[in-house]
Amino acid sequence: MRGPHNILRVIRTGATFERTGAMTVALAAFDAPPLVRAALRILAWPFRWLGYAGDPTMPPVTRALTALGPAYIKFGQILSTRPDVVGEDLALQLMVLQDKLPPFPKAEARLAVERELERPVDELFSEFSEPVAAASIAQVHHARLARTGEEVAVKVLRPGIERAFRRDIDAFYFLARIVEVLSPNSRRLRPMEVIRHFEGVVMGELDLRLEAASAGEFAANTAGDEGFVVPPVHWDLSGRRVMTLGWAEGTGMGDLAAIDAAGHDRRVLAERVLQLFLRHALRDGFFHGDMHQGNLKVAKGGDIVAYDFGIMGRIDEYTRRVYAEIIIGFIRKDYARVAEVHFEAGYVPADRDVDEFARALRAVGEPIFGMDASRISMGRLLSYLFEVTERFGMETRTELILLQRTMVVVEGVARSLDPHINIWQAARPVVEGYIREFFGPKALLRDLRRTALVLARFGPRLPHLAEAALIRQSLPPAPPQRPSRAGPLLWIATGAAATLVGVLAAGLL
């Protein structure tokens, strides 16, 4: 399906932004130069009639994203946590994408529950409310168990959501291919692999059995974390399209006025959110990958309650150690060690100059320390980091995409609670605690023991594996294959799309 027909989807994205008025708002939020604004408006205007009208009661950007589909809504959810990037007004508008989208009828939800659980709703639940939250993929109903009276949350997938997501992801693949063809320098960022990774994450989110399993594992890992709660899973009332969890009572993390009225200390909450994320990522290697305000509540006692476990991240132990060394290196301003870690992990090609890379890292890190967080321009910092990575030939690490994205989201949540939070000072105790636990004599002995167990398990096979490797090396190299030529349709599609990339860039900004 990733063919030229997706050009229409590309055009429609820009046209929808122009028709809904989102083009002007988005360009202003990102402070685009006047010449760029005029050029993009001129390119998009002839295609305006192809755009979706959307819901006129919504703000322009929210209206455009909801009209374009679930994948675009996911993008808007991320931007809603970054007022320092898109501005306070636009971030506030985008917050409705987190859990306040138009719901589908309660009757359809009841029918989905009965089909999935193969029992009447009235037999399972003594109460089953209208939707209390609706997001891009599913909606939630407040219910009460008929057998015990316990309050629960019943999550039900939107009808036809699988097909809608496949359509959007198909268009993203087409866009990634166009970017690779038109901008060879972008290939080091591996846009096709980035979309492939995103597809895997999203398709996993569309099976609520996997989300229930993630919730159970996450609850087990965090059972001892003070100030953090994960609702329990009701496995007998969960399936592929329906999931039932314990009810999470509390104030939404995005409702700052209600948090203040309840007497919670927002500075403490901001620090706790950041530290919990780092603890889960470093200690467990398993973290909540969608920690925006719509998925977090503050309980009466001040505990943070997390829910919506459709997107979870997992990183191996070696990557965790590399990540921790990089963070602690920045905290201690040891840029030489940070540079060495990048080279040791293979993140930077070995033929580059490690001292030059350390100097570039110092230029990134120094402006952060001692500065009030509200004065840091994340947009400028990310722009400079991109220049550094391009200069040193770093490639996108697909296994770290979700970790990096979630770190940005969590930082945005923390700053919404406390605009003056010092990210590095809040992270330091968690990272240093991990360093003490996993870097030292005890960690070395643990690694040696684990290595010995692996060698003992595979010991009988080692001679055969070594012999097979030697045989492969002794074989003559295979003749080089002739590169295939791109078909005429691809080149026609690429040429046509070249004039529309500007419009799409505005639409996906």
Residues 253, 262: Cα–Cα separation, whole Å: 12
Note whether 172 and 1 are within 8 A (CB).
no
Tokens of 116: 């999935």
Q: Of 108, 103, 111, nearest to 140 (Cα)?
A: 103
The number of C-alpha atoms within 13 Å of 465 and in the hemisphere containing its C-beta is 6
Residues 450, 438: Cα–Cα separation, whole Å: 14
Going 61 to 66 to 68 to 72, the CA torsion angle's sign is positive
Residues 75, 358: Cα–Cα separation, whole Å: 33
CB-based burial of residue 383 (10 Å sphere; 0-12 exposed, 13-18 middle, 19+ buried)?
exposed
Residues 164, 72: Cα–Cα separation, whole Å: 11
Tokens of 466: 């070594």
Q: Which one is catalytic: 84, 99, 170, 290?
A: 290
Q: Of 99, 71, 139, nearest to 294 (Cα)?
A: 99
Q: Residue type at 388?
A: V
SS3 assignment for 383-440 = HHHHHHHHHCCCCCCHHHHHHHHHHHHHHHHHHHHCCCCCHHHHHHHHHHHHHHHHCC
Say whether 120 sits in a helix, a strand or coil. coil
Cβ contacts of 76 within 8 Å, gap of 6 or more? 61, 62, 65, 94, 97
Element (H, E) at 229: strand 228-229
CB-based burial of residue 249 (10 Å sphere; 0-12 exposed, 13-18 middle, 19+ buried)?
exposed
The number of C-alpha atoms within 13 Å of 174 and in the hemisphere containing its C-beta is 27
Note whether 106 and 130 are within 8 A (CB).
yes
Give catalytic status of residue 236 as yes or no. no
Residues 10, 426: Cα–Cα separation, whole Å: 42
Residue count of the chain: 509
Residues annotated as catalytic are 290
